[in-house]
Amino acid sequence: MSEKIAVIGGGSWGTTLAGLLADKGNEVSLWVFEEDLAARMARNHVNDLYLPDYKIPDGVTVTSDLSASATGKDIILTVVPSHVTRGVLAKLAPAVKDDAIFVSATKGIENDTLMTIHEVMEDVLPKGFHHRLAFLSGPSFAKEVCLRMPTAVSVASRDPAVAKRVQAAFSTEYFRVYTSPDVIGVELGGSLKNVVAIAAGCSDGLGFGHNTRAALITRGLAEIARLGMAMGANPLTFSGLSGMGDLMLTCTGELSRNRTVGYKLGQGIKLADILSEMKMVAEGVKTSKAAYELSKKYDVPMPITEQVYLLLYEDKGPKQVVRDLMTRDLKSEIG
């Protein structure tokens, strides 16, 4: 069954998902914030700013009119940075029909409130939408999905029927979607892996090898799972696609923005200089602050997260970060 879908956010991932959904025969509207970019995309069917090598299917209608993009749509897919999600939803909500489903593909945590995206959505959207929220996450670089390389992700919703409907709308022969009831686990896995990826990239930038990266990924996953369980997540989620799968991809893949930030920090480049050269958002920079605050709120030890926070926000040197991590009090791995 084809759906009428609005994709809110014209970055590389939003553009990719819009194209995937249109290829399935869905009626797709893609909202792009930048008016000049939206005009060029509508004219040339290319996102020359974020995804220049991808030809956008003719079935995608590009617009910079937020309300018009969402009017009459069955599914509203939000793919905007976490720090603008609240504002975009507030402007968007009045145009959405009452029985629409909201799907979030945003990976982040709101810094000021420490809310996950599902909490932000419940805070902004009318209660009638709260049981029709879903969250898409998993190991998925946009460029590889554009090339139709086999990819598997998760969609989480508290309502199984909603999860299955989103699963059907998004699944293709190269993009496989699994359902999950664990909204908080899927969200945290997708958000916190970006923090660990900065650490892994920093390790690579310092010239360390596979041993170091493997240790960071493994102990980083332990941190994510500890916080997740404290917040009510199912621990099994973190061994799945939106947990270990996304963590492995983001910590090792050359296309990872967060790993790239860490790599350059390890080489001694200042954060402000790194971010000034980036077109797209590296969510882990903001998420590291929120994750650090959540670790304090829930009294969960997260040493890697803490050191990434100090690296980014207290200008701590990367070599000192490594030294402090390696010389902490000795502990048991389990428990």
Give the residue numbers marked as catalytic. Answer: 193
CA–chain centroid gap for 195, Å, is 11
283-297 vs 210-230: helix crossing angle, rounded to 10: 50
Q: Which residues contact 54 (CB under 8 A, 6 or more apart)?
A: 15, 16, 19, 46, 47, 143, 146
Would you give the DSSP letter of residue 135?
E
SS3 content of the chain, % helix, strand, coil (to 5): 55, 15, 30
> What is the C-alpha to C-alpha distance for residues 127 and 10, in angstroms, rounded to an integer?
27
Q: In what order do the strands lie in the sheet with 175-180?
A: 60-63, 27-31, 4-8, 75-78, 101-104, 133-137, 151-156, 175-180
Q: How far apart are the first and last CA of the chain?
A: 48
- Determine the 3-state secondary structure of 151 from DSSP: strand
54 and 17 Cβ atoms separated by less than 8 Å: no
> What is the C-alpha to C-alpha distance for residues 6 and 19, in angstroms, rounded to an integer?
12
CA–chain centroid gap for 284, Å, is 9
Q: In this structure, is the dihedral angle defined by the CA atoms of residues 23, 26, 29 and 30, taken in order, positive or negative?
A: negative
225 and 164 Cβ atoms separated by less than 8 Å: no
